[in-house]
Amino acid sequence: MQSAIARCDAINPRINAVIADLREHAKAGLKHARTGDAPFAGVPFLLKDLSMDLARYGTSQGNAALARRPVAQTDAVVRRWEQAGLLIFGKTNTPELGLKAITEPVAFGPTRNPWNLDHTPGGSSGGAAAAVAAGIVPAAAAGDGGGSIRIPAAYCGLFGLKPSRGRVSCAPQFDEQWEGAVSTHAISRTVRDSAALLDVIAGPEPGDPFIVQPPARPFSQELQAPTQRLRIALSTASPIGGAVDVAWSRAASDCGQLLQSLGHHVEWIDPVGDGMQLARDYLTMYFGQVAAQLTWWQQQGVPASAFETDTQALGLIGRGLAAGDYALARARWNSPMRALGQLFTRFDLYLTPTCAQPPARIGELAAPRWQRTALQLILRFGLGGVLRRSGLVEQLAFDNLHRTPFTQLANLTGTPPWACSSGRPGGVKTCCFNWPLNWSRNAPGGIGAHQSLPHEKRTPRRPFLPTERRQADASCRRGLISILPNRRKYT
Protein backbone atom coordinates (compact mmCIF):
# COMPACT_ATOMS: atom_id res chain seq x y z
CA MET A 1 0.00 0.00 0.00
CA GLN A 2 2.76 2.44 0.87
CA SER A 3 4.42 1.76 -2.47
CA ALA A 4 1.17 2.47 -4.33
CA ILE A 5 0.62 5.71 -2.42
CA ALA A 6 4.21 6.81 -3.01
CA ARG A 7 3.88 6.01 -6.71
CA CYS A 8 0.62 7.94 -6.88
CA ASP A 9 2.15 10.97 -5.16
CA ALA A 10 5.09 10.93 -7.57
CA ILE A 11 3.26 10.31 -10.85
CA ASN A 12 -0.31 11.55 -10.46
CA PRO A 13 0.53 15.27 -10.72
CA ARG A 14 1.68 14.56 -14.28
CA ILE A 15 -1.23 12.40 -15.44
CA ASN A 16 -4.17 13.49 -13.20
CA ALA A 17 -5.59 9.98 -12.94
CA VAL A 18 -6.58 10.00 -9.25
CA ILE A 19 -8.87 12.85 -8.17
CA ALA A 20 -10.07 11.76 -4.71
CA ASP A 21 -7.85 10.77 -1.80
CA LEU A 22 -9.18 7.88 0.32
CA ARG A 23 -5.93 6.75 1.91
CA GLU A 24 -7.32 7.10 5.44
CA HIS A 25 -10.12 4.74 4.43
CA ALA A 26 -7.52 2.30 3.08
CA LYS A 27 -5.46 2.48 6.26
CA ALA A 28 -8.51 1.49 8.28
CA GLY A 29 -9.06 -1.50 5.98
CA LEU A 30 -5.42 -2.49 6.23
CA LYS A 31 -5.90 -3.52 9.86
CA HIS A 32 -8.39 -6.19 8.76
CA ALA A 33 -6.36 -7.21 5.70
CA ARG A 34 -3.39 -8.21 7.83
CA THR A 35 -5.41 -10.80 9.67
CA GLY A 36 -7.71 -12.03 6.90
CA ASP A 37 -7.36 -14.70 4.24
CA ALA A 38 -9.25 -12.86 1.46
CA PRO A 39 -7.94 -13.48 -2.09
CA PHE A 40 -6.77 -9.88 -2.54
CA ALA A 41 -5.86 -9.10 1.06
CA GLY A 42 -3.84 -5.89 1.19
CA VAL A 43 -3.83 -5.20 -2.57
CA PRO A 44 -4.18 -1.45 -3.34
CA PHE A 45 -7.13 -0.54 -5.53
CA LEU A 46 -8.83 2.51 -7.05
CA LEU A 47 -12.54 3.13 -7.67
CA LYS A 48 -13.83 4.84 -10.77
CA ASP A 49 -15.61 7.97 -9.53
CA LEU A 50 -18.83 7.03 -11.32
CA SER A 51 -21.64 4.65 -10.27
CA MET A 52 -19.47 3.03 -7.59
CA ASP A 53 -20.68 4.46 -4.31
CA LEU A 54 -18.68 4.13 -1.10
CA ALA A 55 -20.63 5.20 1.98
CA ARG A 56 -19.68 8.55 3.56
CA TYR A 57 -17.83 9.73 0.45
CA GLY A 58 -19.09 11.67 -2.56
CA THR A 59 -19.26 10.12 -6.03
CA SER A 60 -18.48 13.03 -8.32
CA GLN A 61 -19.38 11.48 -11.69
CA GLY A 62 -16.97 14.05 -13.09
CA ASN A 63 -18.93 16.95 -11.56
CA ALA A 64 -17.77 19.20 -8.70
CA ALA A 65 -21.26 19.73 -7.26
CA LEU A 66 -21.90 15.99 -6.97
CA ALA A 67 -18.49 15.41 -5.37
CA ARG A 68 -19.64 17.45 -2.37
CA ARG A 69 -22.62 15.15 -1.67
CA PRO A 70 -21.64 12.13 0.51
CA VAL A 71 -23.61 8.97 -0.24
CA ALA A 72 -25.41 6.91 2.38
CA GLN A 73 -24.66 3.36 1.29
CA THR A 74 -21.98 1.29 -0.40
CA ASP A 75 -22.76 -0.37 -3.71
CA ALA A 76 -22.73 -4.17 -3.82
CA VAL A 77 -19.79 -4.38 -6.21
CA VAL A 78 -17.71 -2.10 -3.98
CA ARG A 79 -18.64 -4.17 -0.93
CA ARG A 80 -17.49 -7.32 -2.72
CA TRP A 81 -14.18 -5.75 -3.67
CA GLU A 82 -13.55 -4.79 -0.07
CA GLN A 83 -14.63 -8.18 1.23
CA ALA A 84 -12.03 -9.68 -1.11
CA GLY A 85 -9.38 -7.65 0.71
CA LEU A 86 -8.81 -4.83 -1.79
CA LEU A 87 -7.76 -1.56 -0.16
CA ILE A 88 -9.45 1.41 -1.83
CA PHE A 89 -7.22 4.46 -1.43
CA GLY A 90 -8.59 6.78 -4.12
CA LYS A 91 -11.00 7.45 -6.95
CA THR A 92 -10.12 7.94 -10.60
CA ASN A 93 -11.09 10.66 -13.04
CA THR A 94 -13.97 10.28 -15.48
CA PRO A 95 -15.76 12.58 -17.95
CA GLU A 96 -18.93 14.15 -16.58
CA LEU A 97 -21.57 11.40 -16.15
CA GLY A 98 -19.24 9.10 -18.08
CA LEU A 99 -20.54 10.46 -21.38
CA LYS A 100 -17.38 10.66 -23.48
CA ALA A 101 -14.58 8.43 -24.76
CA ILE A 102 -12.08 10.96 -23.46
CA THR A 103 -11.46 12.00 -19.84
CA GLU A 104 -11.40 15.80 -19.73
CA PRO A 105 -14.04 16.98 -17.23
CA VAL A 106 -14.20 20.71 -16.57
CA ALA A 107 -14.37 20.05 -12.82
CA PHE A 108 -11.10 18.11 -12.50
CA GLY A 109 -9.17 18.70 -15.70
CA PRO A 110 -7.87 16.22 -18.27
CA THR A 111 -6.30 12.88 -17.52
CA ARG A 112 -3.21 12.25 -19.64
CA ASN A 113 -1.98 9.06 -21.23
CA PRO A 114 1.20 7.82 -19.47
CA TRP A 115 2.63 6.71 -22.81
CA ASN A 116 2.35 10.24 -24.23
CA LEU A 117 1.21 13.07 -22.00
CA ASP A 118 -0.14 15.06 -24.95
CA HIS A 119 -2.78 12.41 -25.67
CA THR A 120 -5.91 11.08 -24.00
CA PRO A 121 -6.07 7.70 -22.24
CA GLY A 122 -9.62 7.38 -23.56
CA GLY A 123 -12.81 7.29 -21.53
CA SER A 124 -14.87 7.04 -19.67
CA SER A 125 -12.57 4.88 -17.51
CA GLY A 126 -9.59 7.01 -18.54
CA GLY A 127 -8.40 7.70 -15.01
CA ALA A 128 -8.45 4.00 -14.20
CA ALA A 129 -6.47 3.06 -17.30
CA ALA A 130 -3.90 5.82 -16.77
CA ALA A 131 -3.38 4.75 -13.15
CA VAL A 132 -2.80 1.11 -14.13
CA ALA A 133 -0.59 2.00 -17.11
CA ALA A 134 1.54 4.27 -14.94
CA GLY A 135 2.10 1.50 -12.39
CA ILE A 136 0.17 3.04 -9.52
CA VAL A 137 -1.99 -0.09 -9.12
CA PRO A 138 -2.09 -3.47 -10.90
CA ALA A 139 -5.82 -3.09 -11.64
CA ALA A 140 -8.50 -0.44 -11.14
CA ALA A 141 -12.29 -0.41 -11.17
CA ALA A 142 -13.95 0.50 -14.46
CA GLY A 143 -17.34 0.51 -16.16
CA ASP A 144 -18.44 0.14 -19.77
CA GLY A 145 -21.61 1.54 -21.38
CA GLY A 146 -20.30 1.97 -24.93
CA GLY A 147 -16.66 0.93 -24.81
CA SER A 148 -15.54 2.67 -21.60
CA ILE A 149 -13.44 -0.28 -20.40
CA ARG A 150 -12.14 -1.40 -23.77
CA ILE A 151 -11.25 1.98 -25.31
CA PRO A 152 -9.00 3.09 -22.40
CA ALA A 153 -7.47 -0.39 -22.22
CA ALA A 154 -6.68 -0.11 -25.92
CA TYR A 155 -5.21 3.38 -25.67
CA CYS A 156 -3.06 2.49 -22.64
CA GLY A 157 -1.79 -0.95 -23.67
CA LEU A 158 -3.77 -2.90 -21.07
CA PHE A 159 -6.37 -5.66 -20.82
CA GLY A 160 -10.05 -4.76 -20.50
CA LEU A 161 -13.06 -7.09 -20.30
CA LYS A 162 -16.69 -5.97 -20.30
CA PRO A 163 -18.68 -8.72 -18.54
CA SER A 164 -21.94 -10.14 -19.88
CA ARG A 165 -25.11 -8.25 -19.13
CA GLY A 166 -26.22 -9.12 -15.61
CA ARG A 167 -22.98 -10.91 -14.69
CA VAL A 168 -22.18 -8.17 -12.14
CA SER A 169 -25.01 -6.69 -10.12
CA CYS A 170 -25.86 -2.97 -10.18
CA ALA A 171 -27.46 -3.19 -6.71
CA PRO A 172 -28.67 -1.36 -4.81
CA GLN A 173 -28.80 1.77 -6.98
CA PHE A 174 -30.11 0.21 -10.17
CA ASP A 175 -31.72 -2.87 -11.62
CA GLU A 176 -29.85 -2.16 -14.85
CA GLN A 177 -27.98 0.89 -16.10
CA TRP A 178 -28.68 2.35 -19.52
CA GLU A 179 -31.17 -0.38 -20.41
CA GLY A 180 -28.58 -3.02 -19.55
CA ALA A 181 -25.83 -1.55 -21.74
CA VAL A 182 -23.53 -0.80 -18.76
CA SER A 183 -21.33 -3.43 -17.09
CA THR A 184 -18.88 -2.98 -14.21
CA HIS A 185 -15.50 -4.67 -13.89
CA ALA A 186 -11.85 -3.52 -13.99
CA ILE A 187 -8.91 -2.65 -16.21
CA SER A 188 -5.77 -4.67 -15.52
CA ARG A 189 -2.29 -5.43 -16.75
CA THR A 190 -2.90 -9.19 -16.98
CA VAL A 191 -5.70 -11.52 -18.00
CA ARG A 192 -5.07 -13.49 -14.81
CA ASP A 193 -5.95 -10.52 -12.60
CA SER A 194 -9.04 -9.71 -14.65
CA ALA A 195 -10.35 -13.26 -14.26
CA ALA A 196 -9.65 -13.34 -10.52
CA LEU A 197 -11.38 -9.99 -10.00
CA LEU A 198 -14.41 -11.18 -11.97
CA ASP A 199 -14.65 -14.23 -9.70
CA VAL A 200 -14.95 -11.83 -6.77
CA ILE A 201 -17.74 -9.60 -8.13
CA ALA A 202 -19.78 -11.94 -10.35
CA GLY A 203 -23.16 -13.08 -9.08
CA PRO A 204 -26.60 -11.67 -8.28
CA GLU A 205 -27.90 -9.59 -5.40
CA PRO A 206 -31.41 -9.79 -3.92
CA GLY A 207 -33.88 -8.03 -6.19
CA ASP A 208 -31.88 -8.25 -9.41
CA PRO A 209 -34.20 -8.46 -12.46
CA PHE A 210 -32.65 -11.73 -13.66
CA ILE A 211 -29.84 -14.11 -12.79
CA VAL A 212 -27.11 -15.05 -15.28
CA GLN A 213 -26.14 -18.71 -15.14
CA PRO A 214 -22.91 -18.97 -13.13
CA PRO A 215 -19.83 -20.54 -14.73
CA ALA A 216 -19.16 -24.22 -14.18
CA ARG A 217 -15.93 -23.28 -12.39
CA PRO A 218 -14.16 -20.04 -11.43
CA PHE A 219 -13.04 -17.83 -14.29
CA SER A 220 -9.48 -17.94 -12.96
CA GLN A 221 -9.46 -21.73 -13.38
CA GLU A 222 -10.48 -21.37 -17.03
CA LEU A 223 -7.05 -19.89 -17.70
CA GLN A 224 -5.47 -23.32 -17.16
CA ALA A 225 -7.94 -25.27 -19.31
CA PRO A 226 -6.84 -26.58 -22.72
CA THR A 227 -7.94 -24.60 -25.77
CA GLN A 228 -9.60 -26.39 -28.64
CA ARG A 229 -9.55 -25.27 -32.26
CA LEU A 230 -11.66 -22.12 -32.61
CA ARG A 231 -13.63 -20.65 -35.50
CA ILE A 232 -12.96 -16.91 -35.64
CA ALA A 233 -14.77 -14.27 -37.70
CA LEU A 234 -12.59 -11.27 -38.56
CA SER A 235 -13.77 -7.82 -39.69
CA THR A 236 -11.76 -4.62 -39.89
CA ALA A 237 -14.26 -2.37 -41.72
CA SER A 238 -16.03 0.31 -39.69
CA PRO A 239 -19.67 -0.70 -39.11
CA ILE A 240 -20.72 2.92 -39.72
CA GLY A 241 -18.64 3.40 -42.84
CA GLY A 242 -15.85 5.66 -41.58
CA ALA A 243 -12.13 5.34 -42.11
CA VAL A 244 -10.13 2.91 -39.97
CA ASP A 245 -6.53 3.82 -39.26
CA VAL A 246 -4.29 1.37 -41.10
CA ALA A 247 -2.27 0.51 -37.98
CA TRP A 248 -5.39 -0.50 -36.06
CA SER A 249 -6.76 -2.48 -38.99
CA ARG A 250 -3.42 -4.23 -39.44
CA ALA A 251 -3.30 -5.15 -35.74
CA ALA A 252 -6.54 -7.10 -36.09
CA SER A 253 -5.53 -8.77 -39.36
CA ASP A 254 -2.07 -9.66 -37.99
CA CYS A 255 -3.77 -11.15 -34.95
CA GLY A 256 -5.99 -13.20 -37.25
CA GLN A 257 -2.98 -14.46 -39.18
CA LEU A 258 -1.22 -15.48 -35.97
CA LEU A 259 -4.31 -17.31 -34.75
CA GLN A 260 -4.54 -19.11 -38.06
CA SER A 261 -0.88 -20.13 -37.83
CA LEU A 262 -1.66 -21.59 -34.40
CA GLY A 263 -4.27 -23.90 -35.90
CA HIS A 264 -7.49 -21.90 -35.59
CA HIS A 265 -9.88 -21.21 -38.46
CA VAL A 266 -10.10 -17.48 -39.33
CA GLU A 267 -12.54 -16.11 -41.88
CA TRP A 268 -13.05 -12.54 -43.09
CA ILE A 269 -16.62 -11.25 -42.88
CA ASP A 270 -18.51 -7.97 -43.29
CA PRO A 271 -19.47 -6.06 -40.12
CA VAL A 272 -22.35 -7.67 -38.24
CA GLY A 273 -25.81 -6.15 -38.73
CA ASP A 274 -26.77 -2.59 -39.70
CA GLY A 275 -24.11 -0.48 -38.06
CA MET A 276 -25.71 2.87 -38.85
CA GLN A 277 -29.05 1.85 -37.36
CA LEU A 278 -27.31 0.48 -34.30
CA ALA A 279 -25.49 3.80 -33.87
CA ARG A 280 -28.74 5.76 -34.17
CA ASP A 281 -30.49 3.54 -31.64
CA TYR A 282 -27.53 3.72 -29.27
CA LEU A 283 -27.54 7.53 -29.44
CA THR A 284 -31.30 7.63 -28.85
CA MET A 285 -30.78 5.70 -25.63
CA TYR A 286 -27.77 7.89 -24.80
CA PHE A 287 -29.66 11.18 -25.22
CA GLY A 288 -32.67 9.89 -23.30
CA GLN A 289 -30.56 8.62 -20.40
CA VAL A 290 -28.74 11.94 -20.07
CA ALA A 291 -32.09 13.74 -19.90
CA ALA A 292 -33.29 11.31 -17.22
CA GLN A 293 -30.11 11.75 -15.16
CA LEU A 294 -30.30 15.54 -15.25
CA THR A 295 -33.97 15.43 -14.28
CA TRP A 296 -33.20 13.12 -11.37
CA TRP A 297 -30.43 15.39 -10.11
CA GLN A 298 -32.70 18.42 -10.38
CA GLN A 299 -35.13 16.56 -8.13
CA GLN A 300 -32.26 16.12 -5.64
CA GLY A 301 -31.57 19.85 -5.66
CA VAL A 302 -28.74 19.99 -8.21
CA PRO A 303 -29.71 22.40 -11.04
CA ALA A 304 -28.94 21.72 -14.68
CA SER A 305 -26.65 24.75 -14.65
CA ALA A 306 -24.27 22.81 -12.39
CA PHE A 307 -23.40 20.58 -15.35
CA GLU A 308 -21.20 21.23 -18.35
CA THR A 309 -22.67 22.93 -21.41
CA ASP A 310 -22.20 19.76 -23.49
CA THR A 311 -24.07 17.69 -20.91
CA GLN A 312 -26.94 20.18 -20.76
CA ALA A 313 -27.20 20.14 -24.56
CA LEU A 314 -27.35 16.33 -24.62
CA GLY A 315 -30.10 16.44 -22.00
CA LEU A 316 -32.04 18.98 -24.05
CA ILE A 317 -31.94 16.64 -27.05
CA GLY A 318 -33.10 13.78 -24.83
CA ARG A 319 -36.04 15.76 -23.46
CA GLY A 320 -37.19 16.36 -27.01
CA LEU A 321 -37.49 12.63 -27.73
CA ALA A 322 -40.99 11.18 -27.90
CA ALA A 323 -41.57 8.23 -25.57
CA GLY A 324 -42.65 6.14 -28.54
CA ASP A 325 -39.45 6.91 -30.44
CA TYR A 326 -37.33 5.90 -27.45
CA ALA A 327 -39.27 2.66 -27.00
CA LEU A 328 -39.01 1.84 -30.70
CA ALA A 329 -35.25 2.42 -30.71
CA ARG A 330 -34.90 0.14 -27.68
CA ALA A 331 -36.99 -2.55 -29.38
CA ARG A 332 -34.64 -2.46 -32.37
CA TRP A 333 -31.78 -3.69 -30.17
CA ASN A 334 -33.23 -7.10 -30.97
CA SER A 335 -31.87 -6.88 -34.53
CA PRO A 336 -28.15 -6.79 -33.67
CA MET A 337 -28.77 -9.38 -30.95
CA ARG A 338 -30.21 -11.79 -33.52
CA ALA A 339 -27.54 -10.98 -36.10
CA LEU A 340 -24.74 -11.65 -33.62
CA GLY A 341 -26.54 -14.76 -32.39
CA GLN A 342 -26.62 -16.09 -35.94
CA LEU A 343 -22.92 -15.32 -36.32
CA PHE A 344 -22.16 -17.41 -33.24
CA THR A 345 -23.90 -20.44 -34.72
CA ARG A 346 -20.99 -20.52 -37.19
CA PHE A 347 -18.14 -18.95 -35.21
CA ASP A 348 -16.78 -19.00 -31.68
CA LEU A 349 -15.20 -15.54 -31.63
CA TYR A 350 -15.67 -12.23 -33.44
CA LEU A 351 -12.43 -10.26 -33.91
CA THR A 352 -12.23 -6.54 -34.78
CA PRO A 353 -9.98 -3.59 -34.02
CA THR A 354 -10.96 -2.01 -30.70
CA CYS A 355 -10.94 1.53 -32.14
CA ALA A 356 -10.83 3.09 -35.57
CA GLN A 357 -8.47 5.94 -34.74
CA PRO A 358 -5.50 6.45 -32.38
CA PRO A 359 -5.85 8.44 -29.14
CA ALA A 360 -6.77 12.07 -29.70
CA ARG A 361 -4.59 14.87 -28.40
CA ILE A 362 -5.74 16.54 -25.21
CA GLY A 363 -8.35 19.14 -26.17
CA GLU A 364 -8.62 17.96 -29.78
CA LEU A 365 -12.23 16.81 -29.45
CA ALA A 366 -13.48 19.83 -27.51
CA ALA A 367 -16.20 21.82 -29.27
CA PRO A 368 -14.85 24.98 -30.91
CA ARG A 369 -15.58 28.28 -29.21
CA TRP A 370 -18.34 29.30 -31.63
CA GLN A 371 -20.21 26.05 -30.96
CA ARG A 372 -19.91 26.45 -27.20
CA THR A 373 -21.18 30.03 -27.47
CA ALA A 374 -24.12 28.92 -29.62
CA LEU A 375 -25.00 26.13 -27.20
CA GLN A 376 -24.86 28.49 -24.24
CA LEU A 377 -27.25 30.92 -25.94
CA ILE A 378 -29.63 28.11 -26.89
CA LEU A 379 -29.65 26.80 -23.32
CA ARG A 380 -30.02 30.27 -21.80
CA PHE A 381 -33.10 31.07 -23.86
CA GLY A 382 -34.58 27.57 -23.84
CA LEU A 383 -34.39 27.15 -27.61
CA GLY A 384 -34.50 23.38 -27.57
CA GLY A 385 -36.35 23.22 -30.87
CA VAL A 386 -33.59 25.21 -32.58
CA LEU A 387 -30.98 22.84 -31.17
CA ARG A 388 -32.85 19.76 -32.34
CA ARG A 389 -33.47 21.15 -35.82
CA SER A 390 -29.84 22.21 -36.20
CA GLY A 391 -28.63 18.62 -35.80
CA LEU A 392 -25.45 20.04 -34.23
CA VAL A 393 -25.33 17.79 -31.16
CA GLU A 394 -26.24 14.66 -33.10
CA GLN A 395 -23.49 15.40 -35.62
CA LEU A 396 -20.93 15.88 -32.86
CA ALA A 397 -21.99 12.55 -31.33
CA PHE A 398 -21.66 10.75 -34.67
CA ASP A 399 -18.27 12.35 -35.28
CA ASN A 400 -17.06 10.90 -31.97
CA LEU A 401 -18.52 7.47 -32.77
CA HIS A 402 -16.47 7.41 -35.98
CA ARG A 403 -13.37 7.15 -33.79
CA THR A 404 -14.75 4.20 -31.78
CA PRO A 405 -17.42 2.48 -33.92
CA PHE A 406 -16.70 -1.12 -32.93
CA THR A 407 -17.50 -1.17 -29.24
CA GLN A 408 -21.23 -0.35 -28.96
CA LEU A 409 -22.33 -3.66 -30.51
CA ALA A 410 -21.42 -5.60 -27.37
CA ASN A 411 -23.22 -3.13 -25.11
CA LEU A 412 -26.50 -3.38 -26.99
CA THR A 413 -26.30 -7.18 -27.34
CA GLY A 414 -25.07 -7.89 -23.80
CA THR A 415 -22.11 -9.96 -24.97
CA PRO A 416 -18.75 -10.01 -23.12
CA PRO A 417 -15.92 -8.58 -25.26
CA TRP A 418 -12.34 -7.93 -24.30
CA ALA A 419 -9.61 -5.65 -25.63
CA CYS A 420 -5.97 -6.69 -25.61
CA SER A 421 -2.97 -4.77 -26.88
CA SER A 422 0.24 -4.98 -28.86
CA GLY A 423 2.52 -2.38 -30.34
CA ARG A 424 4.81 0.42 -29.28
CA PRO A 425 4.12 3.05 -26.62
CA GLY A 426 2.42 6.07 -28.18
CA GLY A 427 1.04 3.91 -30.98
CA VAL A 428 -0.71 1.08 -29.16
CA LYS A 429 -2.82 -1.10 -31.44
CA THR A 430 -5.42 -3.52 -30.18
CA CYS A 431 -7.80 -6.27 -31.11
CA CYS A 432 -11.23 -6.74 -29.60
CA PHE A 433 -12.84 -10.16 -29.26
CA ASN A 434 -16.54 -10.78 -28.69
CA TRP A 435 -17.85 -14.19 -27.73
CA PRO A 436 -21.33 -15.61 -27.12
CA LEU A 437 -23.36 -14.53 -24.11
CA ASN A 438 -24.19 -18.12 -23.16
CA TRP A 439 -20.81 -19.61 -24.01
CA SER A 440 -20.27 -23.24 -23.08
CA ARG A 441 -17.93 -26.10 -23.68
CA ASN A 442 -20.35 -27.56 -26.20
CA ALA A 443 -20.72 -24.76 -28.75
CA PRO A 444 -22.40 -25.46 -32.11
CA GLY A 445 -20.23 -27.77 -34.15
CA GLY A 446 -18.53 -29.21 -31.08
CA ILE A 447 -15.87 -26.50 -30.92
CA GLY A 448 -15.30 -25.05 -27.46
CA ALA A 449 -16.02 -21.33 -27.15
CA HIS A 450 -15.62 -21.13 -23.41
CA GLN A 451 -11.94 -20.33 -23.07
CA SER A 452 -10.48 -17.23 -21.54
CA LEU A 453 -7.04 -16.03 -22.53
CA PRO A 454 -4.18 -18.09 -21.11
CA HIS A 455 -2.36 -17.42 -17.86
CA GLU A 456 0.51 -14.94 -18.08
CA LYS A 457 3.34 -16.27 -15.86
CA ARG A 458 5.57 -13.25 -15.54
CA THR A 459 6.31 -10.30 -13.33
CA PRO A 460 3.73 -7.50 -13.78
CA ARG A 461 5.13 -4.85 -16.11
CA ARG A 462 4.29 -1.21 -16.64
CA PRO A 463 5.02 1.50 -19.23
CA PHE A 464 7.48 4.34 -18.99
CA LEU A 465 6.62 7.98 -19.00
CA PRO A 466 7.88 9.84 -22.09
CA THR A 467 11.27 10.68 -20.56
CA GLU A 468 12.04 7.06 -19.78
CA ARG A 469 13.22 4.23 -21.96
CA ARG A 470 10.43 2.04 -23.36
CA GLN A 471 10.31 -1.36 -25.00
CA ALA A 472 7.50 -3.73 -25.85
CA ASP A 473 6.87 -7.08 -27.48
CA ALA A 474 3.88 -9.34 -27.94
CA SER A 475 3.47 -12.79 -26.45
CA CYS A 476 1.13 -15.70 -27.01
CA ARG A 477 0.37 -18.86 -25.04
CA ARG A 478 -1.09 -22.26 -25.88
CA GLY A 479 -2.93 -21.48 -29.09
CA LEU A 480 -5.16 -18.58 -28.06
CA ILE A 481 -3.36 -15.28 -28.43
CA SER A 482 -2.58 -13.02 -25.50
CA ILE A 483 -1.43 -9.73 -26.95
CA LEU A 484 -0.32 -8.24 -23.66
CA PRO A 485 2.86 -6.16 -24.00
CA ASN A 486 5.96 -7.35 -22.19
CA ARG A 487 7.68 -4.27 -20.81
CA ARG A 488 10.74 -3.77 -18.61
CA LYS A 489 10.03 -2.54 -15.09
CA TYR A 490 11.01 0.87 -13.82
CA THR A 491 14.55 1.17 -12.56
Q: What is the pLDDT of residues 193-252, one digit of tens each?
A: 999 999 999 999 999 999 999 999 999 999 988 889 999 999 999 999 999 999 999 999
Of 87, 91, 89, 90, nearest to 31 by C-alpha is 87
- Amino acid letter, residue 463: P
Alpha-carbon gap, residue 84 to 31, rounded angstroms: 14
What pTM was computed for the model? 0.88
pLDDT tens, residue by residue, 449-475: 223 222 333 333 333 343 332 333 333
For residue 8, the number of C-alpha atoms closer than 13 Å in the C-beta half-sphere is 25
> Is 48 tagged catalytic?
yes
User: pLDDT value at position 470?
Assistant: 33
> Is 148 tagged catalytic?
yes
Catalytic residue, chosen from 48, 100, 162, 429, is 48
Q: Under DSSP, is residue 384 helix (H, G, I), strand (E, B) or coil?
A: helix
Average the pLDDT over 289-315 and give the result: 96
> Is 183 tagged catalytic?
no
Catalytic residue, chosen from 60, 124, 164, 482, is 124
125 pLDDT higher than 50: yes
Q: What value does the mean pLDDT of the chain take?
A: 86
Catalytic residue, chosen from 51, 148, 169, 188, is 148
Alpha-carbon gap, residue 356 to 368, rounded angstroms: 23
Contact (Cβ atoms closer than 8 angstroms) between residue 186 and residue 140:
yes
* Residue 122 backbone class (left: φ over 0; alpha: ψ -120 to 50; beta: rest): left
